[in-house]
Structure 1
Amino acid sequence: AFFAGLLLRSGGEDEQRSGNCFLSFGVAGLFLYLTAETWWLLRFELPSAEAGGVSVLWGLFALAAVAVGVVRRLRPLRRLGLILFLVTVIKIFFYDLARVDSFYRIIAFILLGVALLAGAFVYIKFRDRFEAAAGENPK
């Protein structure tokens, strides 16, 4: 679906819409597949890191979505990445950290805070690239 979407995007307007649809399904399928594979691998190989590993994968996926959204000026992809990052942070707070000792919980909160500050800094630094301007393509 992903590669079909890439091929269709080079055509006319209707083909680009179909290509966007195929790309969306391809990325969603990749996200679900990677989540399932990570969960199963960690469940059998390293059960103590099962939930945290999935959270790391989701965070990387969200970061990639925001980065591609900034570079390609795709507002929906940026927003999707930010929403996925928010879901990941909520999952970490309410699910992952509930199963961790106090010392590791403190370390995790510090690292999560640093990651959030770094993400906010990068987002603000590149704000001029994707700020709602007359020339932005909202696709």
Structure 2
Amino acid sequence: MDNHSILNKLGFVPGISVREYMWGEDVEGDLRDAICECIGSDLLEEGEGAGADMSCIWWRDGNDEESLSDCLLDASADLGPGQKICVLTPKPGFDGAAAPGFVASAASKEGLNASTPVSLNSEWNAICLYPFGRGAKRSS
């Protein structure tokens, strides 16, 4: 499966707006370009414009739970109900990688469910985060 197919399955589809967090010169440039191609526009910078349809976090700070929690709060605040956050992180063994399960654990503390990591290329994984309770509420 090519990168575009994988990115489409993660929700990077034409016409949506995606705000990126923690961009830096050390992010995977080809992967970032592929995301822009999939959505048909540039990624929004932190603090740019109104809300976005999806948030994308370039996580390269290992197991720094406080920083990830802060970033998840910022990214969540920018989204509407039911919209997701995609955390892009180096695979284990690469600089900045988080321990297995770290992103899911931090997400759970912020009220988010985490998907199974998806391999994007030889160095990067994606983990999608969704708000708890995406289904219909039960009436009492």
- TM-score w.r.t. structure 2 length? 0.27
More strand by share: 2
Relative contact order higher in (CA < 8 Å, ≥ 6 apart): 2
More helix by share: 1
- TM-score w.r.t. structure 1 length? 0.28
